[in-house]
């Protein structure tokens, strides 16, 4: 869906900013593009090896490591794994704040406030010369932000049920971003008056430039009415199979 471009929110400890021309901005997108040695996404590569071939230090160096900087989250806890690409550290939080930090100093290049909690790692790609990062939130929204300044490129809700959320990291391949869709319906289902359960998990493919769906693969067929609960509420199934 088309959305207005939303400015990134401000944070303390901002990195020094210099005015840039359009030419400089294009160069910045190139500089921030991911490389093969970066830690991009949940498992670093498409195979989720979770292995860094060139970590920059040896096992023998571990006892000599010292704290270089620390970043304090404001009233938040963290699920998503930090992503390190082109000298920046991208982190998410339960408050919905997404931050781009400087790898060398920990200063904040920019911060963006999503609609609700962001639990997964970020995926970063460069398409057509534009470097962007992609992630989902607990309201089932997928976001694409400019890596250079955190400006919103597009935002799309991938499932209609109110219980849909995205807890897994997105995957990028070519011009497609793959989105796993989960839910928290199993939590609200404890209410005997809730018409459990109608959510069905899915894997969705979106265009990286626009967020427009390319295809949707459901994990189950559509739930059907089954019986009434002890409270007289209509129950449905089969349901679930979240990703």
Please report whether residue 2 resides in a domain: no
168 assigned to some structural domain: yes
**Per-residue pLDDT at 1:** 44
- Beta pairing partners, 135: 143
Residue 188 has a pLDDT of 74
Task: Provide the 10 A C-beta neighbour count for residue 188.
Answer: 14
Looking at the domain assignment, is residue 242 inside a domain?
no
Q: Under the phi-then-psi rule, with left for phi > 0, alpha for psi from -120 to 50, and beta for the rest, what region is 46?
A: alpha
| Domain with 55 in it | 22-237
CATH number, residue 151: 2.140.10.10
* Beta-bridge mates of residue 9: 111
Q: What is the pTM of this model?
A: 0.88
CA distance 82 to 92: 8
Query: Residue 64 domain-assigned?
Result: yes
Number of domains in the chain: 1
Q: How does pLDDT run along the chain (243 residues), one tens digit per residue?
A: 444 444 456 677 899 875 566 567 778 888 999 998 899 999 998 888 999 888 888 989 999 999 999 998 877 778 889 999 999 999 999 999 999 999 999 999 999 999 999 998 999 999 888 999 999 999 999 999 999 999 999 999 998 777 889 999 999 999 999 999 998 887 776 777 788 888 889 999 999 999 999 999 999 888 888 888 878 888 887 888 899
Structural domain includes residue 62: yes
Domain-embedded: residue 11: no
pLDDT of residue 194: 80
Residue 144 near residue 211, CB atoms below 8 Å? yes
The answer to the question of residue 17 being in a domain is no
Angle ∠(140,146,151) on CA atoms, nearest 5: 80
Is 123 a domain residue? Answer: yes
How many CA atoms lie less than 13 Å away from 125 in the CB half-sphere?
A: 20
């Amino acid at each position: 869906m088309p959305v207005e471009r939303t400015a990134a929110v401000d944070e303390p400890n901002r990195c020094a900013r210099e005015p840039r021309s359009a030419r400089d901005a294009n160069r910045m997108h190139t500089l921030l593009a991911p490389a093969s040695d970066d830690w991009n996404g949940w498992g670093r590569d498409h195979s989720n090896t979770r292995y860094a071939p060139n970590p920059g230090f040896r096992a023998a160096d571990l006892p000599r490591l010292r704290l270089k900087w620390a970043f304090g989250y404001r009233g938040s806890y963290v699920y998503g794994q930090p992503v390190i690409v082109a000298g920046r550290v991208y982190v998410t939080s339960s408050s919905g704040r997404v931050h781009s930090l400087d790898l060398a100093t920990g200063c904040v290049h920019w911060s963006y406030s999503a609609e609700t909690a962001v639990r997964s790692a970020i995926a970063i790609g460069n398409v057509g010369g534009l470097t962007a990062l992609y992630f989902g939130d607990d309201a089932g929204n997928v976001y694409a932000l400019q890596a250079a300044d955190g400006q919103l490129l597009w935002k799309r809700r991938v499932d209609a049920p109110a219980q849909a959320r995205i807890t897994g990291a997105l995957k990028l391949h070519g011009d497609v971003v793959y989105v796993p869709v989960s839910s928290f319906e199993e939590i609200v289902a404890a209410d005997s008056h809730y018409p459990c359960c109608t959510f069905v998990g899915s894997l969705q493919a979106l265009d990286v430039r626009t967020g427009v769906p390319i295809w949707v693969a459901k994990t189950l067929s559509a739930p059907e009415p089954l019986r009434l609960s002890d409270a007289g509420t209509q129950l449905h199934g089969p349901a679930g199979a979240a990703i």
